[in-house]
């Protein structure tokens, strides 16, 4: 577990079911550059909070645990930011309760909504579509509408 705590990143995510950790998370999360969290209270398990946050520079999981006053055992470096942002709502798991974006507490709702839309687009898709515009296989209007 010690190696896990030493991992560094600028995006972190996690889940906590501990009442004290949930309280501390809500109290301290605004220290992050960006955050989004949701209370999952309609799942088949006890109430819990899923969260994602971004901090300036590279930080260790241990330092994020200290910042939030949350057990670092339940924090991880978030490598799939869009995927985890979508998981807050169970957007890609139709068998689970579908939470609404209105249930998400976030420092920037527009940024959060950007994460959960167009989930399949990535840099490769963007480049491929740009090439289609250059060679006349996709109109400029269609390109703009797709990536708006």
Cα–Cα dist 111/118, whole Å: 13
Percent of the chain with pLDDT over 70: 89
> Which segments of 52-122 does DSSP mark as H helices, in order?
61-68, 81-87, 109-116
Q: Which residues are within 8 A (CB) of 101 and not within 5 positions of it... i.e. 6 or more apart? A: 89, 109, 112, 113, 116
Longest CA pairwise span in the chain (Å): 58
pLDDT in the model for residue 126: 72
Helix (H, G, I), strand (E, B) or coil at 38: strand
Q: Which residues are within 8 A (CB) of 4 and not within 5 positions of it... i.e. 6 or more apart? A: 61, 73, 76
Mean pLDDT on 40-53? 94
Helix (H, G, I), strand (E, B) or coil at 148: coil
Structure-token match 């798991």, residue found: 93
pLDDT in the model for residue 141: 80
pLDDT in the model for residue 99: 96
Position 148 confidence tier, pLDDT thresholds 50, 70, 90 = low
pLDDT in the model for residue 124: 63
Cα–Cα dist 68/49, whole Å: 13
Cα–Cα dist 5/73, whole Å: 7
């Amino acid at each position: 577990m010690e190696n896990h705590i030493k991992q560094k990143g600028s995006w972190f995510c996690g889940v906590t079911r501990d009442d004290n950790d949930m309280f501390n998370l809500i109290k301290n999360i605004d220290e992050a550059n960006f955050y989004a969290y949701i209370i999952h209270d309609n799942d088949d398990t006890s109430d819990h909070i899923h969260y994602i946050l971004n901090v300036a520079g590279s930080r260790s999981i241990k330092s994020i645990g200290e910042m939030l006053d949350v057990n670092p055992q339940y924090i991880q470096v978030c490598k799939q930011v869009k995927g985890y942002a979508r998981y807050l709502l169970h957007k890609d798991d139709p068998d689970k309760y579908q939470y609404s974006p209105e249930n998400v507490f976030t420092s920037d709702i527009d940024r959060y909504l950007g994460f959960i839309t167009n989930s399949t687009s990535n840099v490769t898709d963007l480049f491929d579509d740009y090439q289609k515009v250059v060679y006349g296989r996709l109109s400029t209007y269609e390109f703009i509408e797709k990536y708006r």
